[in-house]
Structure formats: structure tokens, C-alpha cells
Amino acid sequence: MGDKVIKWGILGTGLIASAFARDLAFAGNTEKTAVGSRTKESAEKFAEEHWVSLAYGSYEELVQDPNVDAIYVATPHPFHKDNVLACLRAGKAVLCEKPFTINSEELEEIIRFARDKRLFLMEAMWTRFLPPIVKVREWIDSGKIGEVLLVKADFGYRAQWDPEWRLLNPALGGGALLDIGIYPVSFASMIFGTNPEKILSSAHIGETGVDEQFSIIMSYPSGKTATLNGSFRVGLTNEAYIHGTEGSIRIPSFFSAKSATLYQDGEEVETFTDDRKSAGYAFEIEEVGKCLNQGLLESPVIPLDESLEIMKLMDEIRGQWGLKYPFE
């Protein structure tokens, strides 16, 4: 990773920010430098719980801290565009929690700004960097399962009903697709790329006006197909399967994968198991450090153009459902 210690700022103090802060302890060449919240009280509480050096009662104070190298944006996605732009205007490298933005128009704006200013920017699609997923890519690239023709990925759980809850509230960009659906969509993109020839989808739009459950079929050249499901209404297996002409791969809980199994001729050939002690965010944190130390402006594992194309896919899918947020 090089010698430079990356001094991190955390923008936001919610659950995902806490998970990120805990995992910083497992990442090399990092330092918990500062946290920013909308209130000083919240920032100080977070800093005390997670051993962060400085606590700021506003996001602006955080982004202006000259000691901070990189900022993790951990706010809800309707606020990502403004938060990321504030960080970039202050000259900071940015890791932004998924989904990157509400739509592709917002994402194009921040990518254009980051590139104009030559600043590092990356989507926090942590799944890409988990060791079992890295191993899966190695198996595929080395031809272990032949030509990949079919991908299936599900992510769903039964949530309690609360119409004011962020994930059910259209004013806060709620819905299953943007929050959890991005995992199977991004997974399919990792395997097949971002240019399906055809997308068929359906969704249950609940009484709050957001998608509570969806199914997507994406067709690619040469008969390749991805079947994806997501739901807040029912619990799903949360597994991913990759089927090729000479074998298959199964990944339990693929979005937070701790293992992956390779099959050939119906027989188990190899199981890769990750015995990490962290939740798994440490790997994306280390990727940012690696890129910054190498002078890169984006990650080759989840490049900005791919993040943008994934957002365009989700725009198209929402368009099929007639789902538009009130602030769009």
C-alpha cells in the first residue's frame, strides 16, 4: 500500500458509519482522524464510542479539516450528491456509500467534478473487495467453470412496517432496488458487464409509493442471463449462483460473503473460506489507501464508469415501474 497513512474523516454517524469506523481498526495504514455530524452532541458521542480523534458539529467543518485525506460519506443516499460535492470542493478523496446517488444524472455531475479536479472518488460497493468474491473472479478468469451463461442473485428480508422508515419513505429515496437491489445488480455487472440487450422487470409498489419487492431478468449476448430478486416483504436465501458450461459457483450471503464453493461435474471441488475478524469493510478501506498511494483517481475494481452504468440500469428499471421520487 505504500508508506502514507490515510487519515480518514467520517461524514455521518448512523449504523453504517459505526460499522465503517469499527472496521478501520482492521485496515492497514489508516487513522480515524475526524467525524462530522449535524450536531456536536452526535459527533462527540460517535467519536467517544469509536475512538475518533476529532468531532465536528457540522459537515462543513469536517470537510475543511486540513488533516483529513479521505472522507467516507455515510449519509442516506438522497444527500449523497451534495455531501460528495462538498468533500470534493474541499479537495478530499471520497468513498461514498452505495447507492452512489439517487439517479445517473446526479452521479454524472459528481463524476465530472471529480475528474475535472483530479480527485479520487469511489463507490463503497464493499462486496467487490471481499476475499471470497475476489476468489470467485479468479475462478472465472482462469476458466474453472467454462463460459458463464447464467447468474442468479437474491437479497431480501422481512422488515417491520413503518411508513416513516427511511427505506419505505419516498421523500428519502426509499425502496428495495436502491438500497438492497444494488447488490444483485452490481453482482451481475461484475460477471456480465453493464450492457444487457434486454431488461424485464416487475415490482410490488407498496402503499407508501416505493418498491417493496422486485424481480429482474437481464439478457446479454450469446444467451447469457441474470435473474435477480430483492424484497423487504419476504426473507430470501441471499445466495448467488454462477453457472458455466463446465461448472458452477455458489456464494452464501453473497453481499457479505465469507465463503464460496466451486463445483465441476456436480461435485464440490473447492471451498474458499474467509476467516476475517472484521465485518468486511476493511477491504474497501484498504483499496482506497492502495489507490491513493499509487496516485490513482479511481479503483480499477469498481471504476466510475461502471458505477454510472449500474445507476443507469437502475434508472431504466425504475422507469419500467413508473417509480419517480418527489424530488427528482
Report d(CA 159, CA 171) in Å as an integer: 19
Reported residue count of the chain is 328
User: Residue for cell digits 482522524?
Assistant: 33
Judgement on whether residues 104 and 135 belong to the same structural domain of the protein: no
How many domains is the chain partitioned into structurally?
A: 2
Is there a domain that residue 34 lies in?
Answer: yes
Report d(CA 154, CA 237) in Å as an integer: 7
Judgement on whether residues 22 and 99 belong to the same structural domain of the protein: yes
- Answer with the one of 125, 152, 181 that is the final residue of a domain: 125
Q: For position 261, which CATH number holds?
A: 3.30.360.10
Judgement on whether residues 69 and 49 belong to the same structural domain of the protein: yes
pLDDT band of residue 161 (cuts 50, 70, 90) is confident
What is the structure's pLDDT at 1? 46
Contact present, 136 and 247 (Cβ < 8 Å): no
pLDDT in tens, 53-62: 999 999 999 9
pLDDT in tens, 240-278: 999 999 999 999 999 999 999 999 998 999 999 999 999
Judgement on whether residues 121 and 218 belong to the same structural domain of the protein: no
Judgement on whether residues 91 and 14 belong to the same structural domain of the protein: yes
Task: Give this prediction's pTM.
Answer: 0.96
Judgement on whether residues 142 and 41 belong to the same structural domain of the protein: no
- Answer with the one of 94, 125, 156 that is the final residue of a domain: 125
C-alpha 128, offset from chain centre:
8
Q: Which of 116-125, 163-172, 228-237 has the lowest mean pLDDT?
A: 163-172
Judgement on whether residues 100 and 221 belong to the same structural domain of the protein: no
Query: Region 35-41: what's the mean pLDDT?
Result: 97
Judgement on whether residues 140 and 35 belong to the same structural domain of the protein: no
- Which three three-digit cell numbers place residue 127? 462486496
Amino acid identity of residue 211, one-letter, is: D
Is there a domain that residue 296 lies in?
Answer: no
Q: For position 97, which CATH number holds?
A: 3.40.50.720
Which residue range forms the structural domain that includes residue 265? Answer: 131-273+310-321
Judgement on whether residues 185 and 215 belong to the same structural domain of the protein: yes
**Residue (of 56, 11, 63, 8) closest to 31 by Cα position:** 8
pLDDT in tens, 88-144: 999 999 999 999 999 999 999 999 999 999 999 999 999 999 999 999 999 999 999
Is there a domain that residue 178 lies in?
Answer: yes
- Answer with the one of 91, 125, 159 that is the final residue of a domain: 125
Judgement on whether residues 145 and 264 belong to the same structural domain of the protein: yes
Is there a domain that residue 59 lies in?
Answer: yes
